[in-house]
Structure 1
Amino acid sequence: MVRFTRFHSAAALCLSVTLASLTLTACAPATTTAMTSAASGTAVASIPNAIDIPATGETRAALVIYPGANVAPEAYRWLGEALAGRGIRTVIVRFPLNLAVLEPNRAGRVIKALGLPAGRIFLAGHSLGGAMAAQFLAGQGAGQVAGLILMGAYPAGNVSLHGQPLLAVLDLAAQNDGLSTLPEVQSSLPRLPEKTRLVVLPGAVHADFGRYGEQKGDGLRVTAREVTEAAIIGEVAGFIEGVAR
């Protein structure tokens, strides 16, 4: 995965727009299939170009996840499967070349397809995915979700959500993150709503948010991955359950 701050130059963003256009032109139209909720047996439309994990029983809320750069969406399936039993449907978005920077507004189509009120939809992003999720909500995505979850991520320097006081934000930072360092995450707080809740995961690293292996440049993990994952699940589920309406 590429450290997302490298994509914030004007040249990189111009290139991403060009690449996104070429990719979209080359893609065949996606088809929509049906999936079934394990407990209720109710058929619901599955979101195309994504890993769609239905809630067990009634869907109380939905979480849309933007993966980190060069990370396959399957790396975050563990989180969606853990949330399913708490009535949370999880949609992990697929991007061209596994780079959210190539189509940062893709959440708009996913949100529309979910068919839920904005108060029950949440957007999350890891690393570059978090930066692009924040960019989406600062632009055309404003008002479309109840909350944002940043995982080892922070908004780009030219992106601010501070003027959206109704947007709830959970900011999960890994204490030993060598890529999105704790000081960088803390310095971004003025660009987030005042009620943003920062949670520092002790002894955790950047790669603890997804199951994709070790990462070059990351810090030293001193807390077992399963302990950190349990903390992430608890924080994410608690945040969604506390905000969803």
Structure 2
Amino acid sequence: MAETIREPQRPRRGGAFWALLLGAALSFVAFLALGLWQVQRLGWKEDLIARVDQRLAAAPVRAPDAAHWTSINKADDEYRKVLLIGTFDHSRETLVGASTELGTGYWVLTPLRTTQGDWVLVNRGFVTPEFKTRASRTASETQGEDRVVGLLRLPEPGGDLLRKNAPEQDRWYSRDVEAIAKARSVEGPVAPYFVDAAAADDQTRWPRGGLTVVRFNNHHLQYALTWFAMAAMVAGIAFYLWRIEPRRRAAASGTA
């Protein structure tokens, strides 16, 4: 009687196999989407850097007055070079903790009354702790009308990452325009931005302006490549599970 030769039985794909394959598919889609999102972020960041570089190289324009405050936004206005004309009220300056290339100390924020009657908070620059008091630097205080060129900045409400502003104790860690204006009883319309003053010609006086750091981290290309690599790795694993592993198991069972 002839012996019947049986074909090796192919291993069945159970529920665990399909669950694993589904997880791989979902992971692939998620990693691919994250990579595409980082590509979009890369384009946005490069456009932002180009626009800011253009603003820094441009001539100063008059700072926005009250009629244009509602239209101010981060994308179109931050780091714009502006000109202010008005009078400082040095009696209501505020010191805000700062760390700069000159060391740790304070930003000196002073309200300026513009010729239009608005108030704008001006960051006149940085002082080290020994020049913390007004008496130590009154020679740098201008009297009467002044012209200030600087960069328009948006407020930093609340404090920094680790510390909250404490207005009742006069401790400030961020340039919170609204809170500082309220604490100093600045009457009248106050601009929803502040201005970082440019460096003065005389760099022997305090405060020292022109220390604004304009830096944008741009690691989106590396992030995109990482996500795409993970998507490719998951696709390779899924291919192995679907085609190669069943064949290997079938071959192994046939030689057993």
Q: Smaller-chain TM-score range?
A: under 0.3
Larger gyration radius, structure 1 or structure 2: 2
User: Relative contact order, CA 8 A, sep 6+: which one is greater?
Assistant: 2
Greater helix share, structure number: 2
